[in-house]
Amino acid sequence: MFEQLKTLPQDPILGLMKAFREDPRTDKVDLGVGVYRDEAGQTPIMTAVQAAERRLLGTETTKAYIGPAGAEGFNQLIGQLMLGAGHSALSDGRATVVQTPGGCGALRMAAEFLKLCRPDTTVWISTPTWANHIPLLGGAGLTIREYPYLDRTTLSVDFDAMISCLEQADSGDVVLLHGCCHNPSGADLDADQWAAITDLIERKGLLPFIDMAYQGLGEGLEQDAQGVRLMAERLPEVIVASSCSKNFGLYRERTGALMLIAATPAQGKAAASQLLSAIRSHYSMPPSHGAAVVELILDSPELAHQWQTELGAMCDRILDLRAAFSKALAPAGDFSFIERQRGMFSFLGITPQQVQILREEFGIYMLDSSRINIAGLSAATLPCVSEAIREVSGR
């Protein structure tokens, strides 16, 4: 059987990570990998997470199975984090939240659920989007279509192009949106644009599917959820995939959630039963640890405060770096979009050749598309990285 298989080419990000590891220069800078980094270049365990883990170790009494939906307490609290406590969809039985193995698990199970709703479902995704969206959703058998999202010259949202493309979508089509901190561009929809896209979705009978992988890392927990909350308020059906990888720093613990909001409680019940059956036939049930930690944090006023303070500091660090970086690059051209954008990622808008020069001559690593992780910068490295980019921009 196996003899027919061909070896696939290496994932470009993994190749970049390897090249960075093997680079002997001590002043090399990694702006490629998509994890949060602090001033010292570390991806630390948050102190609220460490405290919750210690508590968990002292109180956990069993490792028995938790069931396909995961932990009920986590699901309730994460639903409130997404929609705000007291949202009617959470109290009237229209919303179902299940714990998933990371945001990826949520995205894939949403796709499997959509297949059960309608086997020929089309999902519209932004160009560009996070590279794994296509394998996660297309791999489940959904038809993928793309809508233009980014104006490559200004590196801001090309909203007119987005809207006019989505006018071609058919009733029942699904539109994948990034809740905040668009990956890879950092260009987010503003409040008016969220309202306009909600109008379009309502008028055309489309289904919004929102990927919320960075809540709290754009402008703050509440602000970053504005699009999700608006849609949950106004539309009969909404799907949200959320991840605790970045905002709780739980990457390897594979912690995320999927929320389905249905038009009526009866439809919500049917949707939940279908989703749980799909989960059962894929991974049976999610891993427990990360969600148990999140539940302990969100359920304890003291730990929740500690977590929010830490997350707020991470968010502020990214905003400060954005402002300083955009200022430092100003002599080389208009990089003000970096300050306007949100979250960890932005495109520099330089050519693949310039990206290569930065890597080879200066030891500065980023994806060939020029997507950088802003959190990979620090007060110490920002001046030399900016100088190198200024120099390379002139070539």
- Site residues (vs ligand PMP, CB under 6 A): 34, 102-104, 130, 183, 211, 213, 243, 245, 251, 256
C-beta of 142 vs 389, nearer to ligand PMP = 142
C-beta of 183 vs 226, nearer to ligand PMP = 183
> At closest approach, how far in Å is the CB of 250 from ligand PMP?
8
**Residues belonging to the active site:** 130, 211, 213, 246
> At closest approach, how far in Å is the CB of 287 from ligand PMP?
12
Contact 32, 373 (CB under 8 A): yes
> At closest approach, how far in Å is the CB of 373 from ligand PMP?
11
- Rounded to 5 degrees, φ, ψ at 27 are -100, 20
d(CA 215, CA 94): 22
d(CA 71, CA 297): 14
C-beta of 68 vs 343, nearer to ligand PMP = 343
DSSP 205-266: T-EEEEEES-TTSSS-TTGGGHHHHHHHHH-S-EEEEEESTTTS--GGG--EEEEEE-SSHH
Q: For the chain, what's the residue count?
A: 395
DSSP 284-306: SS--SHHHHHHHHHHH-HHHHHH
C-beta of 81 vs 328, nearer to ligand PMP = 81
Contact 142, 122 (CB under 8 A): yes
d(CA 192, CA 318): 24
**∠ CA 121-127-128 to the nearest 5 degrees?**
125
Both tokens assigned to 343: 């979250």
d(CA 209, CA 216): 19
Contact 364, 355 (CB under 8 A): no
> At closest approach, how far in Å is the CB of 123 from ligand PMP?
14
Count Cβ neighbours within 10 Å for each residue of 138-147 and write b for 16 or more, e otherwise: eebebeebeb
C-beta of 183 vs 386, nearer to ligand PMP = 183
Both tokens assigned to 47: 């102190």
Both tokens assigned to 282: 């894929």
Contact 109, 278 (CB under 8 A): yes
d(CA 31, CA 278): 37
Nearest residue to 48 via CA among 257, 241, 313: 313
